[in-house]
Amino acid sequence: MSESDNHHKVPNTHGNNKPTSSSKSSPEINKKIPYPNPPELTNPDLATLRDQWRFATKQFSKWNAHAWGTAILAGVSFFALGWVIKGGNPSPSSHAASEVAKDVIDCHTREKDVVLTAVV
């Protein structure tokens, strides 16, 4: 292998290298890490943390707004579908429901009157 090919070698970052004499002073760092993205050894500076926090809050706001928009759109769609299937308001008010119940009761009593009159 020539010297120009050495820069194409990918370094081993999975932590399974044998410790060298210079790294014997900190054996905790050279332990084999079971996951491919090891944690940082030091905390990032405040500017980096601030930028990460801003990005995370913007992403959360975007996802939250998208979720609410989707839920509202689905609710309106199902309401419209119910309206089309039923042929009217799929969720009438309680006042309208009580009027419908009275109409049904009146209809049944009229039928009974008609049957009783026919029998007599």
10-residue averages of pLDDT along the chain (120 residues):
49 52 58 76 92 97 97 96 88 68 64 54
Helices and strands (H, E) in the chain, number of each type: 2, 0
Supply the pLDDT for residue 62.
97
d(CA 80, CA 74): 10
Q: What is residue 20's predicted lDDT score, i.e. its pLDDT?
A: 53
Q: Do the Cβ atoms of 90 and 83 come closer than 8 Å?
A: yes
pLDDT value at residue 80: 94
CB atoms within 10 A of CB 82: 13
For the entire predicted model, the pTM comes to: 0.42
Cα distance between residue 20 and residue 28, in whole Å: 13
